[in-house]
Amino acid sequence: MQAVKEGIKPFRVLYVEKDDRMINSFRQTFDAQIDVIGVPDGRSALDQLNDHDEIDLIIFNDDLGSNSFLKALEAKRKPGNLPVVLLTDRTDIDLTVAPFHGRVVDAFPHNYSEDALRIRLNYLVQKKEYEKSGHANQKSVSIRIPIGKRLFDIAVSFVILALISPILLIVAILVKLDSKGPVFYSSKRVGTGFKIFDMYKFRTMSTGADKLLASMASQNMYNAPLVEKSDDDRCEVCQLAGTLCQRPLFMDQKQICETLYQREQNAKAMFSKFKEDPRVTRLGKILRNTSIDELPQLFNILRGDMSFVGNRPLPLYEAEKLTTIGYARRFAAPAGLTGLWQVTKRGKTKVSDMERIQLDVLYAKSYSFRTDMLILLKTLKAVWQKENV
């Protein structure tokens, strides 16, 4: 670990362990930036907290009665302001329930890996330094559509709605006659700054189409190539070394390999799009190919939910997959009726979800009135191209 920065006090750990040899071993291993205070039981730990309030972390031996200690700690201090790392050999422990939830940040076996624990301690130390340097608890800045862009959206959407109102009425009648169900389809979408709103379209699918989504997962155009699963529940590194799993992860009371789990998660598509979608009605294909089904979103633009140009607002199940810093950057841009991805990749079958994310992030970083006008002009050309997606 790095040396203590000037002006920042050492990271103070309260180690609750009755075996002095364990405390001394821990102190010798992690003494570079950590001030270790050892106590033999939970009662002594509570007394120590009364005398010394500047404790940054508690490491607690689960064999000494973690449940009663955590309940006493909860009654003594405000929830969540003092993290606890549990040393336990229990494999069925659930950190998401009381009294662990909101207090225990991690659990390690008694014969923990020094490297693994060092990574966790380094993170907590750096987090303290970051907070002490004045970067913590800054108020988030709400993301707003630029005033010029917003005025353009209001004026143009109002004029277009006034001009095409007869067309909207005719399409509504045709949708009603074509198949059973409502004229309009609304769905919860995530837009600018993760704002959730109802996005409107003319209905182009048969009723109950959303329920078929799970059964059509194999037809998703964004799917990564399937990786054949091995009968061995270990990753290649552990298999070659001839050792037990070195990165065990416990989910649903079962042990799995964290490396293999992350690989499976990364293989799952972040977006959903289907070629020759069987859920689409006869009239729906025409509305989609001409983008007439998108016209009701002019009401979303007039309300301020969306802009003419931006990154497409995503369904909740897609947006929740884009929570890392690099991916979430796309939500810093306005949600749009059309965008950079639509005019560069629309209708192409060989497009990965990473390509789409990169285009969305690129727009969020560099959008301007000029780029919006160029995208709108390209949209007028692309909107009439034939596509079956």
More confidently predicted of 21 and 278: 21
Amino acid 326: pLDDT: 64
Backbone angles phi, psi at 255, to 5 degrees: -95, 130
Q: What does the pLDDT look like over 113-165, one tens digit per residue?
A: 887 788 778 878 877 776 666 554 444 445 778 899 999 999 999 999 999 99
Residues of the chain with pLDDT > 70, as a percent, come to: 68
Greater pLDDT, 277 or 335: 335
Residue 78 structure tokens: 């405000």
Which sequence spans correspond to the domains of the chain?
11-135, 147-223+269-382, 236-267
Q: Where residue 167 falls among pLDDT bands split at 50, 70, 90?
A: very high
Q: What is the pLDDT of residues 300-310, one digit of tens each?
A: 999 999 999 99
pLDDT at 4: 43
CB crowding 125-155: b at 16 or more within 10 Å, else e: beebbeeeeeeeeeeeeeeebeeebeebbee
Confidence of residue 366 (pLDDT cuts 50, 70, 90): confident
Q: Please report which confidence band the pLDDT of residue 278 belongs to, taking 50, 70 and 90 as the band edges.
A: low
pLDDT in the model for residue 184: 92
Average pLDDT over residues 336-363: 75
Sign (positive or negative) of CA dihedral 342, 343, 344, 350: positive
CA angle 294/297/300 to nearest 5° reads 170
Q: What is the average pLDDT score of the chain? A: 77
Rounded mean pLDDT, 173-187: 89
> If you search the block for the tokens 């606890």, which residue do you land on?
84
- What are the pLDDT digits (tens) for 81-103? 688 999 998 877 777 778 887 78
8 Å CB contact between 48 and 5: no
Mean pLDDT of 191-208: 85
Report the half-sphere exposure of 293 (CA within 13 A, side-chain side). 22
**pTM of the prediction?**
0.49
**Whether the predicted pLDDT of 180 surpasses 70:** yes
Give the residue-averaged pLDDT of 13-18: 93
pLDDT at 273: 54
Residue 117 to residue 113: CA distance in whole angstroms: 6
pLDDT exceeds cutoff 80 at 290: yes
Report the C-alpha dihedral over residues 319, 320, 323, 326, rounded to 10 degrees: -30
Q: What is the mean pLDDT of residues 354-365?
A: 84
| Amino acid symbol at 5 | K
Position of tokens 């006869």? 282
Distance CA(311)–CA(335), nearest Å, equals 5
- Residue 328 has a pLDDT of 77
State pLDDT tens for residues 346-356.
Answer: 545 455 667 77
Task: For the domain made up of 11-135, give the CATH fold.
Answer: Rossmann fold (3.40.50)
Calpha distance 308→374 (Å, rounded): 12
Rounded mean pLDDT of 210-237? 54
- Sorting pLDDT into bands at 50, 70 and 90, what band is 18? very high
Please state which of the ranges 123-132, 264-273, 367-376 shows the lowest mean pLDDT: 264-273
